[in-house]
Amino acid sequence: MENAGAVALAALAVGGIIAFVVITGFAYSTLLERKVLARMQVRVGPNRAGYIPIPRRGKDDLRLLGGVMQPLADAVKLFMKEDFTPPYVDTWVYNIAPIITVFPAVFSLAVIPWAPLPQWLADMTPHYLAPHGYLAIAPGLNVALLFILAITSIEVYGVVLAGWSSNSKYAVLGAIRSTAQMISYELSLGLTLLIPVMIAGSLNLNDIVVSQQQNGWFIMLQPIAGILFFVGALAELQRAPFDLLEAEQELSSGYNVEYAGMRFAMFMMAEYVKMIIFSAMWAVLFLGGYAGPLVSQFPMLGAVYMILKIVAGLFLMIWIRASWPRLRYDQLMDFGWKFMLPISVLNVIVTGVMIVLAEEGVFDGMLGWFGLLGG
């Protein structure tokens, strides 16, 4: 404990850098969403604010990636807007609701492993990162997955409080809808999270990644769990096709209808940061995390793989939004309780039996991927 101060400083530095990257990533994921949606709908998308001047063969103008400064323009616009507080709101709760929404979203960043630890970083942080051997803000937390579950379970509050404190029926209805949705899907999401834990035999996210380096990506071993997690994440994030919360025709936009300016932007920020987090979780739990070719030689390559996998997850979410119609409310509830929950319970039981059988050596000498489970 004599180095507590140094550890705290190092943690602040590492955490600050990672949080900065992800929050910039949030700004650019909005641009990614708008650009990709535009391409899929045969439009151009935002292309006025800024460009990267790169000469290309056969073209005279040097403009590539028109619109790279769009997030900055959006931020300036939101800052300049009037920060209007409607009358008869519960002022205290109305003001802290956006903050309560953003905090849990950013908290989950703490446990995500980004890369194996390169030597120079290990030398710089002898008491902080070096004993654990991988790059994360809070390495060595042996209940990292439970931490994620705990954070997911308190994410509801921002939405509920924003809806309730606005003193508006649309906001309250939106809040109640989204709370019911998040609580319903949290159960199957939690059960799906159990699958990687059962196979890897640890709640530590780095152990799960290492286990995937040895056994292959868990989405190959457990495609059902991988898909269920992605669907559950979509529901938890309230994204299409589960974006009932934002059904403009019915609710005019749900819990955040009374918010404007930067406070509205904070809800948006929470939403996109959560998208990044769930993408990262999907990558870590099912797509092998930072594992990939040449990672053992060049550890920081792991971070590149992580980012590529996160962007792939984001792209998939946007793709689904562009191509899927919204579910009805009763369909949403039926799907969550009557389809996803039974399947995830069954999946946990089957996986448990398979693991025990593999440990008993039933699959020895048998080809096929169950044999991998026993290690």
Partner 1 sequence: MGNLILFLILAVIAIGSAIMMLFSRNAVHSALWLILNFATIAVFYIILNAPFLAMVQITVYAGAIMVLFLFVIMLLGTEQGSGVLATRRGQLWTAAGLGLVVLGSIGTALVRIGGSSVQAAAADTSPRVLAMILFENFTFPFEVTGILLLVAVVGLYVMSKQLRKG
Residues that bind partner 1 (CB under 8 A): 1, 4-5, 90, 92-93, 141-143, 146-147, 149-151, 153-154, 156-157, 160-161, 164, 172, 176, 179, 183, 203
Minimum distance from CB of 255 to partner 1 (Å)?
12
Return the number of the residue (103 or 324) whose C-beta is nearest partner 1.
103
Return the number of the residue (70 or 152) whose C-beta is nearest partner 1.
152
Q: Calculate the alpha carbon distances from 98 to 32, 160, 357 in Å.
A: 24, 11, 49
Minimum distance from CB of 2 to partner 1 (Å)?
11
Return the number of the residue (106 or 203) whose C-beta is nearest partner 1.
203
Q: Which stretches of the chain are DSSP H helices?
A: 4-40, 70-80, 91-107, 119-124, 144-154, 156-165, 169-200, 205-215, 218-221, 223-237, 248-251, 261-286, 301-323, 329-334, 341-360, 370-373
As given in the structure block, the two tokens for residue 106 are 């950013």
Minimum distance from CB of 183 to partner 1 (Å)?
7
Minimum distance from CB of 149 to partner 1 (Å)?
6
Return the number of the residue (121 or 195) whose C-beta is nearest partner 1.
195
Distance CA 228, CA 148 (A): 17
Please provide residue 134's backbone torsions phi and psi, each rounded to the nearest 5 degrees: -150, 160
Return the number of the residue (150 or 353) whose C-beta is nearest partner 1.
150
Taking residue 3's Cβ as centre, other Cβ atoms within 10 Å add up to: 12
Distance CA 204, CA 207 (A): 5
Minimum distance from CB of 3 to partner 1 (Å)?
11
Return the number of the residue (204 or 222) whose C-beta is nearest partner 1.
204
Return the number of the residue (24 or 142) whose C-beta is nearest partner 1.
142
Whole-angstrom distance between the N-terminal and C-terminal Cα of the chain? 37
Minimum distance from CB of 290 to partner 1 (Å)?
23
Return the number of the residue (175 or 318) whose C-beta is nearest partner 1.
175
Minimum distance from CB of 256 to partner 1 (Å)?
17
Nearest to 255 by CA among 362, 60, 243: 243
As given in the structure block, the two tokens for residue 205 are 């996210």
Minimum distance from CB of 55 to partner 1 (Å)?
54
Q: Calculate the alpha carbon distances from 243 to 106, 188, 240, 329 in Å.
A: 22, 18, 5, 10
As given in the structure block, the two tokens for residue 314 are 């984001």
